[in-house]
Chain A
Amino acid sequence: MTEDKNYLEMDLLRFTTAGSVDDGKSTLVGRLFYDTKSIFEDQLEAIERSSKQHGDENVNLALLTDGLRAEREQGITIDVAYRYFATPKRKFIIADTPGHIQYTRNMVTGASTANLALILVDARKGVIEQTKRHAFIADLLGIKHVAVCINKMDLVDYGQDPYDKVLKEFGDFASRLDNVTELTFIPISALKGDNVVERSEHMPWYKGSSLLYHLETVYVGSDANHVDARFPVQWVIRPHSDEHHDFRGFAGRVAGGVFKPGDEVTVLPSGFSTRIKKIFMAEKELEKAYNPLSVTVTLEDEIDVSRGDMLVKPNNQPKVDQNLDAMLCWFSSSKKLVAGSKYLLRHTTKDVQAIVTEVLYKVDVNTLHKVEDDHEFGMNDIGRVTLRVSQPLFFDTYRRNRNTGSFILVDSFTNETLAAGMMR
């Protein structure tokens, strides 16, 4: 492998950032981009022009991420923005989300596909409500790696005390986070660049690595479920051509576990068993398929399989049930949750009807306390509910598998996406 071809071995890290303007989140993202040479001259010129127009004396790096006219006019981030940069080791996708409480739904959206959450804490203020909210949402959405950046170290004379204080405060409630397996604390100054890309000389007491080094090396390979084989069928490929007259391929993205040619598989819901004949990526035959690869599978026997069905291993089957217990995040601004009304539920490649049978409790995202006597469920509310669906679903708990443990609720009248759910 020559050096300029190392992109053939590069992997991908998706991370989410949450924070308010004051945290220096945009400055940090801007710093990462600037120091990895991911900002281009014409972009820099454009935001310089724009900064002047808005009356800023300094170049406002937030303008790089706030892309919509309304966002620039109001100086706020309204929606999740996706940003990209790469180093020779990794490609990064940042889901940059606004951290204010009214944007809980955006944080949830950004976290749903992330491997790592980057949480910013102002060294002068320490852990505040917003910090806990971000950590709670990251954990709820199954993020295993959390990097807490204690920012603005330059404003506390690069001292160790503020850093230690955050470690202690964060540690006190981190025991309540179920999914997070790796918690890293990094003292930085986004403005001055300390410990962002290069290790800082101002903090000899800190023995850890810089933020970028951490992002480049954090191991996320074992985050995906490679144990429970799950293949939701997305599309049936039948060419009807002379050359491929008898070809029947089942296309989909492996949602968990590993599939190999020759493996015995059971088709849900029919329960028929057969073996995998071949696995294809276009014309190329593969020896194995695993999450997140999109492949096409052919089977030894001709059995009825269609979109919404799932291939699993006979000795490792998902839960099959019409009654669900789930954590729900409500997104809609126009409609509140109404127990007993019908919604459309999409889970893997399957659509069913669903009724929310009971709201068990809501979570106060600031105190992280359960609220059991208030069952009104509106925008940005998070809580635990039970549902009943029109046909059995094949699922795992969200904690075990993000792909087979997640669903959305859709309004059958307006077609709006109302809520996101995670199976318990």
Chain B
Amino acid sequence: MRTYNATHLNQLESESIFVLRETAAQFERPCLLFSGGKDSIVMAHLAAKAFAPAKTPFHFLHVDTGHNFPETIEFRDRFVEKRGAQLVVGLVQDSIERGTVEEETGPDASRNGLQSVTLLESIEREGFDACLGGGRRDEEKARAKERFFSHRDAFGQWDPKNQRPELWNLFNGRMAPGENFRIFPLSNWTEMDIWQYARLEEIDLPSLYFAHEREVVERNGSLLAVSEFVVPREGENPAKETVRFRTIGDATCTGAVRSNASSLDEVIQEVAASRITERGSRTDDRRSEAAMEDRKKQGYF
């Protein structure tokens, strides 16, 4: 019975590879959004498989808030060098200095939302016509409505009520000059699929994803890592704890979880038993019920 039966990971892998190849075929200058997080690492791994033994035909683009975990940047640079890929970095700091965005003020200020502007500026500067993103539909309710090929108008805006129907494996990447596409090859993957696939393919991931000791502080229900960007406030009690991260983003809004999982097998077991979604520790999604939808409409990935 199994002879012509592909497992769920085989099927997801083949679907993503199909989408990556379709992106290369339908666009002139596509780029791959690479943050050094697990989803973008898996996407880059799939891209390498899709075009092997040739090089991956995409530039890598990192939109950098400047508020990074040093481990992420080290990992990013090593990863890109190993693949001989072209890395383009768009700095939020540059956008601030240019005056195209203004830094948020207030105690919970974050640069997360500012990334949209820097992304759009990078797209325009580099002339990218499509950006591959590691977004998954299981992450968040607005993302559940995303297409694989997501059309953006000349302002980078997503119009969720007027999306192109997407049937079978037939993707329509046609657009007018100045418009743009966001493409999500991992649309049908869940967090669990990502971990299982990383285990199966022995994909190297940043050490932040595994249990380690770190000074953390509890704020608004999240466990934030103490760093130059997150300074303990009065009344807060920073403490050394054994933690790991389920998602890696801007250091000011990515929460850690208490965990002893130090290998992929242990992480898989832990995720299976978890009662909280991975984005549950992201303060950026909790700003309002439609926080993600609103950011996406403005050009967020």
Contact = CB atoms under 8 A, between A and B. Distances in A.
Interface in A385-415: 402-403, 406-408, 410, 415
B18 A240 contact: no
A253 B5 contact: no
A40 B187 CA distance: 20
B172 A410 contact: yes
Q: Interface size class for chain B? A: 35 or more
B218 interface: no
Contacts of A370: none
A38 to B, nearest CB: 9
Contact of A408 (B143, B160, B172): B172
Contacts of A66: 141
B85 to A, nearest CB: 15
Contact of B167 (A41, A84, A219, A408): A408
A66 B7 CA distance: 30
Contacts of A12: 7-8, 11-12
Contact of A402 (B163, B168, B294): B168
Contact of B269 (A4, A349, A416): A4
A280 interface: yes
Main SS class of interface, A = mixed
A140 interface: no
B165 A282 contact: no
A294 B21 contact: yes
A251 B161 contact: no
Nearest to A78: B161
Nearest to B45: A282
Contacts of B55: 239, 241
A292 B6 contact: yes
B188 A42 contact: no
Interface string B29-51: 00000000000000000001111
A283 B190 contact: no
Nearest to B142: A67
B157 interface: no
A253 B169 contact: yes
Contacts of A106: 165
Interface string B157-194: 00011011111111010111000000000011010110
A234 B22 contact: yes
Given A7-B9, A43-B277, A91-B193, A292 B14 contact: yes
A79 B160 contact: yes
Contacts of B193: 91
Contact of A108 (B167, B174, B192, B290): B167
Interface in A64-119: 64-70, 72, 78-84, 86, 90-91, 93, 105-106, 108-109, 112-113
B98 to A, nearest CB: 31
A331 interface: yes
Contact of A221 (B1, B49, B169): B1
Contacts of B166: 109, 417
B259 interface: no
Interface in B76-95: none
Contacts of B176: 415
Contacts of B269: 4
B262 interface: no
Contacts of B24: 235
Given A4-B268, A12-B11, A408-B170, A79 B163 contact: yes
B161 A239 contact: no
- Interface centre among B13, B14, B169, B196, by most A CB within 10 Å? B169
Nearest to B288: A69
Given A234-B18, A282-B48, A294-B17, A406 B5 contact: no
A237 B52 CA distance: 8
Given A4-B268, A67-B144, A346-B170, A234 B21 contact: yes
Interface in A319-349: 331, 344, 346-347, 349
B241 interface: no
A307 B25 CA distance: 8
B129 to A, nearest CB: 13
B66 to A, nearest CB: 28
B280 interface: yes
Nearest to B221: A42
Given A240-B54, A410-B174, A294 B14 contact: yes
A50 interface: yes
25 contacts: A8-B9, A12-B11, A41-B276, A50-B289, A67-B140, A67-B144, A68-B141, A68-B290, A69-B294, A78-B161, A84-B190, A105-B165, A221-B1, A221-B5, A234-B22, A234-B25, A253-B169, A282-B52, A283-B52, A293-B10, A294-B50, A346-B170, A402-B168, A406-B168, A408-B167
* A-B CB proximity, top 4 nearest: A67-B141, A42-B280, A239-B54, A282-B49
